[in-house]
Amino acid sequence: MPGPDTSAIRDETPIARKAWYRSLYAQVLVAMLIGIAVGHFFPAFGESLKPLGDAFIKLVKMIIAPVIFCTVVAGIASMKTLESVGRVGAKALGYFLIFSTLALIVGLVVGNIVQPGAGLDIDPASLDSDSIREFQGKAKDQSIAGFLLNIIPDSLVSSFTSGQILQVLLVSILTGVALAMLGAKGARITSAISDFGPVIFRIVDIVMRAAPIGVFGAMAFTIGKYGIETLLGLGKLVATFYLTSIVFMILFLAPIARIAGFSLWRLLVYLRSELVLVLGTSSSEAALPSLIEKLEKAGAEKPVVGLVVPTGYSFNLDGTNIYMTMAALFIAQATNTPLSLEQQILLLLVAMISSKGAAGVTGAGFVTLATTLSVVPDIPIAGMALILGIDRFMSECRALTNFIGNAVATLVVARWEGALDRSKLHAALKIRRRLPVDLGDEKNSTAEKKQQ
């Protein structure tokens, strides 16, 4: 009588681990440390390396529009009904509104408790307003009507060259809906777009190989231009902002992740390469294509990922929201400008509106802050010169918090929508557990019993 089949056990030999220095995570981390050292010891040379970081960001932005288009079009066109598109969008926007408001409130509360600007006693008239004139000019263009009109591209093709994520998203949604309405004819086009998707993501893989070079240049420039001493001078504000962002994740993002059935910590470990990339480039956009790919591998269905991630990059900016209320209070405290409760509520309401549409790139948060302060005249806008030197350092935390918030939002909305494959999620977040039975997934266990 033949014994039990042990081939599955024999095939279960441990897979050889890739050498640590071949990992993108390790390469980017080492490049970042080298960039910091070069910028500190050779500041002039480090400042001259700015084009390396800029070039990498441009490479990533070059591929963002095709990634969003292929993901969203294929996802929407494959949905059973168009009602599900509106349902996913409504759930995502509801989530964004709640957590963006929470982030603003957290920044306001911590700013009042810690008071990072108290005691500086700075005269607004003594500040160099010329240094922020560029940001004031950009802020004047950031009205609600202007933001809404800017979602509509000048032409169908220009949306792919404008660099505006929401324009690409609008065209992609319209294209996906049109293909879904065409029936069989649209299915053939959808299939072709789906087949082209792997080509786009292969380009993403190629571009990501240049990430260590881009991170090295960006960090060398930042430290070379502003110096580590800049952090020490206004360290209280920087430290408060970083700690507040961590507290926000612990108090709000971690519980909602747990309710949705996954661990925030395990998600961060899963996205560690992208997090280091965002930290090194100070831009959450740098990791957008890779985030979309990894969330799909983690079990979130393509339509949900395609809708939630791009939309979140404009509407779900937790880090930017914390920064805006805290930085505004810092300027008011540093210049001895008293703010009543009513004025602080007005500040929060204005920030809720002005924060929507801020891009996930370096400097966008500073422009948004200028927009907010221009509507709240009690706070001297010239006080922005106080934080201009350290804004680059805080932009790293803004980008990280925005990125993590959008990753959590996508998985949570996917879970609400019933569009999250738990077995894939467990496999992605618990990589060491290789056997299906170890994943605790009922579907895999049932399938295994049937085979036996």
Per-residue model confidence (pLDDT) at position 240: 85
Tokens of 38: 């070069």
Q: Which helix (H) or strand (E) holds 177?
A: helix 165-181
Measured distance CA(277)–CA(272) in Å, rounded: 9
Per-residue model confidence (pLDDT) at position 3: 47
* Predicted confidence (pLDDT) at residue 224 exceeds the cutoff of 50: yes
CATH code that applies to domain 21-441 = 1.10.3860.10
Pick 307 or 366 by higher pLDDT.
Answer: 307
Q: Is the pTM here over 0.85, yes or no? A: no
pLDDT per residue over 254-284, tens digit each? 999 999 888 899 999 898 888 888 887 777 7
Place of tokens 């949306």: 159
Do the beta carbons of residue 256 and residue 412 sit within 8 Å? yes
Per-residue model confidence (pLDDT) at position 17: 58
Pick 7 or 178 by higher pLDDT.
Answer: 178
Per-residue model confidence (pLDDT) at position 412: 92
Tokens of 209: 């190989």
Per-residue model confidence (pLDDT) at position 250: 92
CA 434 to chain centre: 30
Instruction: State which amino acid sits at residue 386.
Output: L
Q: What is the CA radius of gyration of the chain?
A: 23
Mean local confidence (pLDDT), 204-215: 79
User: Domain segments of the chain: what residues?
Assistant: 21-441
